[in-house]
Amino acid sequence: MSPCTLRICLIMERTQLSAIVLDLLEKETGETYDTLEDSTTLNEGLGLDSLDMAGLILHIESHFGIQIETELLEKIKTVGQILDTLEEKIAVKERRNAA
């Protein structure tokens, strides 16, 4: 999957973001997941340890051209929180590039 361009990111729906995160998650862990639900927890629900999480976040940051601060990472416990953070970061990136 190629890195996200700003124009593509802007028109993405949450389901598209979820599909990209699913792909990145599968690449990071080598596991196959059917779907990602917003309420699925990262460590109990998906079985991610801290190394898996760090790798996933690095893939997400690289793919979308964003940075997720450490303070935010500590609060992310579910798939939905990852998607919420992505939506917020993409919106901030859009505003910066539009200015």
Give the separation between CA 58 and CA 12, rounded to whole angstroms.
20
Q: Please report the domains of the chain, with CATH numbers, ordered by start residue.
A: 17-98 (1.10.1200.10)
Angle between helices 14-29 and 50-64 (to 10 degrees): 130
Give the separation between CA 62 and CA 46, rounded to whole angstroms.
22
| pLDDT for the residue 8 | 52
Give the separation between CA 89 and CA 5, rounded to whole angstroms.
14
Q: Is the pTM of this model over 0.85?
A: no
The DSSP symbol for 9 reads H
pLDDT in 10s for each residue of the chain, 99 residues: 455 555 555 446 888 999 999 999 999 999 999 888 999 999 999 999 999 999 999 999 999 999 999 999 889 999 999 999 999 998 888 888 887
